[in-house]
Amino acid sequence: MLINLLKHYRKTVCCFILISVLLIRPILSLAQMTSDGPSGRYCGFVFHAGTNVSVELTLQHNEKGRLIGHMIYRDDETNTQGTVEEWINQDTTYRMNSTQHMLHWQDKYGSGLALLTFDQNFNQFQGLWGANLQKPHYPWTGKRCNDYTS
């Protein structure tokens, strides 16, 4: 009788552990994927000089939690480099929510604003950019590059 009870108890504990692992694993994976937020490399396209050109955007958080980075895009037969940083308005970071970020960009042609809207896992974004402080309206897209360079 005692042996049967122990066998039943062991089966119950094993089932409980298995179900717990199956339920917790996806939650831990999701937390791991989004823990860095938008930090990383994104390859995509940006509308420049009348056409969509390849662009690579690298983002990271600085010590104050502000999103900063650099970009490089195709410009005729050469590459143009620039910087981006989260837009600051009256000493506050302009962040509409956790997946939307307003960035100030700057390159050799000037500067302006870009609004990037990331998916929930920060694997890609749909964005718009504009020159100076005009409302962003030119397309800018990106997906995580992983190991390839555009």
Residue 97 or 86, more confident: 86
136 contacts 129 by C-beta, under 8 angstroms: yes
Q: How far apart are CA 68 and CA 89, in angstroms?
A: 15
CATH architecture of 40-144: Beta Barrel (2.40)
Give the model's pLDDT for residue 26.
Answer: 43
β-bridge partners, 46: 53, 140
Burial of 138 (0-12, 13-18, 19+ CB in 10 A): middle
- At 33 the three-state DSSP class reads helix
Q: What is the mean pLDDT of residues 62-74?
A: 95
Q: How far apart are CA 94 and CA 104, in angstroms?
A: 10
Whether 116 has a pLDDT exceeding 90, the answer reads: yes
Q: How confident is the model at residue 69 (pLDDT cuts 50, 70, 90)?
A: very high
4-63 residue pLDDT tens: 655 666 665 444 443 443 344 443 444 444 458 999 999 999 999 999 999 999 999 999
Give the model's pLDDT for residue 36.
Answer: 83
pTM of the model: 0.72
DSSP state of 135: P
